[in-house]
Amino acid sequence: MATKSKATTPRAGDDAPHVIANQKAASAPEESRDDFSASGQRTAHVLSPPPGAPTIAEIWQARELLRGKIGETPMLHSRTFSAMTGADVFLKAENLQRSGSFKIRGAINKIAHLTPEEREHGVVTASAGNHAQGVAIAAQSAGIPCTIVMPENAPLAKVMATQGYGAQVVLHGATYNDAFDRACEIQRETGATFIPAFDDPDIIAGQGTLGLEIINAMPEADAIIVAIGGGGLISGVAIAAKSLKPDVRIIGVQASGANSAQRSLEAGEIVTLPKISTIADGISTKRPGELNFAIMRDYVDEIVCVDDDETSSAILLLLERCKLLVEGAGAVGIAALLKPGLLDLAGKRVVVLLSGGNIDMNMVGRFIEYGLATQGRVIGLHTLLPDRPGELHAFLGAIAELGVNVREVNHRRAQPLLPIQQVEIQLTAETRNRAHADRVIAELRQRGYPVVEAHSPFENDHANGA
C-alpha cells in the first residue's frame, strides 16, 4: 500500500533553492578550483576497488577529460525537504546537465578511450533514453557513426532527442534488456563498438566524476542518496566519494518493481528479475552489471526501495517546491528520503542526487495528477442522497463550507443494488492535504452523509507488484 504523505504539505513557492556549490570555485584561479588535488594525495583516503573497477586516479583523469565538455551542475539547499525530514538536505541537480542527465559523463569518457579502428566502425548501444542521448552527443562530437537501440515504449521525448543528436534509432522490445540483446546482434553484424550503459570501467569512471563534485562542494556530507538501475552511477559515485571521505554513507534507491540490485546483494549473487514494472524508466533494468555488483557489494552501505506512487509524489514536490523538473529515476532519492521510517537521517547532512530530468511531456500531467492524489490533494468521494429536489444542492453546499473545490460531479440513478429512491453521488474534489481530506470526510459523516473515499479495486494488486 502507498504511504501517505505528511499532513503538513508546505505551500508552493516557500522553497527557493540557492546554489551553495561552486561559489569558491567561481572565484578561485583555474589551477586551484578543486578542494582536492588530481592525484588525491592531499585528502584522498585511497581504497581498493574490485578487480577491473576504475581507481580514484582514473576518475580524476575522467574529470579532467570532461572539463569544458559538460557543466558542473549546481548543489542546491532545500529548506522544504530539510524541514520535512529533519535532515540538512542538498540537491545535486544533475537534471540540469547537458542532455538532461548524468549519462553524458560516462559516454564521453568511454568514447574518448576508443582506438582509431574502433572509431572507424562506429558505436552501438542500448538504452531506455538517457544513455542514448549521452552516447549520441559523444559520438556526434567525435564524428563517428552511432546506432541506438531503445525499447519500443521508450519516452517519445527521449527518442526524438536521440535522433536530434544524429544517431540512428532502432526501437525493439519491451524492456532495456530486450533492446540490449538487439544491440548486441547489431554489434556482431556491423563490427561497431558496443558502448555499455553501466557495466564498464570507463563508463563508471565518467559517472564517478559526480562523486568528486559532490564531495568537493559538500565535504561535510554524511550521506549521499543515489538511484540504481544497472549500477553504473552509484558504482562511480561510491568509489569517488568513499575514496575521499570513507565515512560517507552511500544509500542506493530502486523502484519496488525493478529492485534487481537489492535482491542481488541480499542473495550474494546477481539476480535477474523475471519482469519489471515502474514509471522510473531510467532505472528499469532486470539485473545489475557484473562489475557494478562487485563494486556495490563493497562500497554501497544500503539499498532501499520506493513505490511508484511515492516517486510520483516526489516528482510533484520537486516541481512545485523547488521548481525542478525531474524524471522518475531522478526523483526516487527524494521519495526514499520522505518515506516515513525508511531512512534515519535526521540531523545529518544529506545530498540527494537528482540524476535526470528527461521526463516525457506527455506524461507530466499524469504524474502531477497521480502525485496530487497520493498527497491527498485530489480525492474521490461517493455518497448516497435521497432522490428529491434540493438534496444535491445541500450536499454541495456542505462541501463548499469545508473549503473544498469540486472538480467533477456524477449523479447516478437506477444502479444495481442501490436503495430505492436514493441516488449515488460521485465527485472529484481538491483538498489542501491528506489531513484536510480526512477532516472533510469526517465532518460530512457527522452531518449524516454516508461518505466513502473512492479507491481502485486494483489498488492492493498494484501495491504488491501484481
Position 426 in a domain: yes
CA dihedral of 178, 182, 183, 187, whole degrees rounded to 10: 150
Query: Do 312 and 449 sit in the same domain of this protein?
Result: no
CATH number for the domain spanning 109: value is 3.40.50.1100
Query: Do 62 and 119 sit in the same domain of this protein?
Result: no
Q: Give CA separation, 382 vs 114, 219, 373, in Å.
A: 63, 53, 16
d(CA 342, CA 336): 7
d(CA 102, CA 205): 12
Query: Do 255 and 291 sit in the same domain of this protein?
Result: yes
Segment 155-167 shows an average pLDDT of 85
d(CA 370, CA 4): 13
Residue 224 has pLDDT above 90, yes or no: yes
Query: Do 70 and 148 sit in the same domain of this protein?
Result: no
Q: What is the DSSP letter of 157?
A: H
Query: Do 246 and 381 sit in the same domain of this protein?
Result: no
Residue 23 has pLDDT above 90, yes or no: no
The DSSP secondary structure of 46-67, one letter per residue, reads ---PPTTSPPHHHHHHHHHHHB
Higher-confidence position of 156 and 338: 338
Helix (H) or strand (E) run with residue 452 in it? strand 452-453
Position 9 in a domain: no
Query: Do 367 and 381 sit in the same domain of this protein?
Result: no
- Identify each DSSP E strand in 155-257 by its residue range: 168-171, 193-194, 223-227, 249-255
d(CA 65, CA 109): 7
Segment 191-220 shows an average pLDDT of 96
Query: Do 217 and 282 sit in the same domain of this protein?
Result: yes
Query: Do 364 and 278 sit in the same domain of this protein?
Result: yes
Position 7 in a domain: no
C-alpha cell at 187: 554489434
Query: Do 69 and 190 sit in the same domain of this protein?
Result: no
Place of cell 530486450: 178
pLDDT at 359: 83
Q: What is the DSSP letter of 96?
A: G
Query: Do 299 and 213 sit in the same domain of this protein?
Result: yes
pLDDT at 200: 95
CATH number for the domain spanning 401: value is 3.30.70.260
Q: Which of 175, 194, 213 lies at the terminal end of a domain, its last residue?
A: 194
pLDDT at 311: 94
Beta bridge partners of 302: 251
Place of cell 473515499: 453
Position 261 in a domain: yes
Number of domains making up the chain: 3
Domain housing 270: 18-100+202-373
C-alpha cell at 332: 526516487
Residue (of 214, 249, 210) closest to 87 by Cα position: 249
Query: Do 325 and 251 sit in the same domain of this protein?
Result: yes
Segment 417-431 shows an average pLDDT of 82
Residues 289, 53: contact at Cβ < 8 Å? no
Q: Which of 147, 174, 194 lies at the terminal end of a domain, its last residue?
A: 194
Q: Which of 141, 160, 194 lies at the terminal end of a domain, its last residue?
A: 194
Output the average pLDDT for the chain.
85
Which of the four pLDDT bands, split at 50, 70 and 90, describes residue 320?
confident
Position 10 in a domain: no
The DSSP secondary structure of 3-37, one letter per residue, reads PPPPS-PPPTT----EE-SSHHHHHS-GGG-SSS-
Residues 106, 207: contact at Cβ < 8 Å? yes
Position 350 in a domain: yes
Position 223 in a domain: yes
Share of the chain above pLDDT 70, in %: 86
d(CA 94, CA 3): 27
- Identify each DSSP E strand in 69-179 by its residue range: 75-77, 88-93, 123-126, 146-150, 168-171
Query: Do 62 and 35 sit in the same domain of this protein?
Result: yes
Position 107 in a domain: yes
Residue 29 has pLDDT above 60, yes or no: no
C-alpha cell at 70: 559538460
Share of the chain above pLDDT 90, in %: 58
d(CA 271, CA 274): 9
